[in-house]
Amino acid sequence: MNDHKIDHIGIAVKDIDAAIKLYRDYIGLECEPIQTFEKSGLRLVFLKTGESSLELLCPMAKPPKGSDGEMIATFIKEKGEGIHHIALVVDDINGTLKKLDKNGIALDDKVGRPGAHGLIAFLNSKSTYGTVLELCEPKH
């Protein structure tokens, strides 16, 4: 049964170590280890905030073309650092995506793909009132 909670809020940052210092050392959030995804050109870390998390996303110096790291680098260049997306938990990511697609919702991902904690998929912000939404089906 889906409890429809926010899994995490993704925040694009230029310097992940400085951002961790703020959230972990000054605010006191519990910090998971930094994950590095070479093929995606991205470093990320989750910081616990009750039942949800903040996800800090930092592009590598030269992320591969078309990668998640390049997408975050472009976001920072165009809009600056800040909230990139809100991730919502779903029970059946592929079933949810099919339902959304059938109802005309623009999708960036047609099927779930591996993410840091399970399957993820992004909805196009043109269909979500300007907010990037990520669906996630966490590993159990």
> Mean of the per-residue pLDDT values for the chain?
93
**Buried-exposed string 24-47: b where 16+ CB fall within 10 A, e elsewhere:** eeeeebebeeeeebeebbbbbbbb
Pick 1-84's CATH classification: 3.40.50.970, 3.30.43.10, 3.40.50.2000, 3.10.180.10.
3.10.180.10
Distance between CA 21 and CA 130 in Å, rounded? 30
Quick one: pLDDT at residue 84? 96
pLDDT reading at 10 higher than 90: yes
pLDDT reading at 112 higher than 70: yes
Given a contact cutoff of 8 angstroms between Cβ atoms, the answer to whether 67 and 61 are in contact is no
Quick one: pLDDT at residue 123? 96
Instruction: Give 62: exposed, middle or buried? Use CB within 10 Å, 0-12, 13-18, 19+.
Output: exposed
pLDDT reading at 3 higher than 80: no
Distance between CA 18 and CA 125 in Å, rounded? 29
| Residue ranges of domains in the chain | 1-84, 90-140
pLDDT tens, position by position, 56-92? 999 999 999 999 999 999 999 999 999 999 999 999 9
Quick one: pLDDT at residue 102? 96
From 117, 126, 43, 127, select the one nearest 87 (Cα to Cα).
117
Quick one: pLDDT at residue 115? 86
Has this prediction a pTM greater than 0.85?
A: yes
Mean pLDDT across the stretch 88-98?
A: 95
- Of 1 and 43, which is predicted with more confidence? 43
Quick one: pLDDT at residue 1? 44
User: Which amino acid, one-letter code, is at 85?
Assistant: H
Three-state DSSP state, 18? helix
Quick one: pLDDT at residue 139? 82
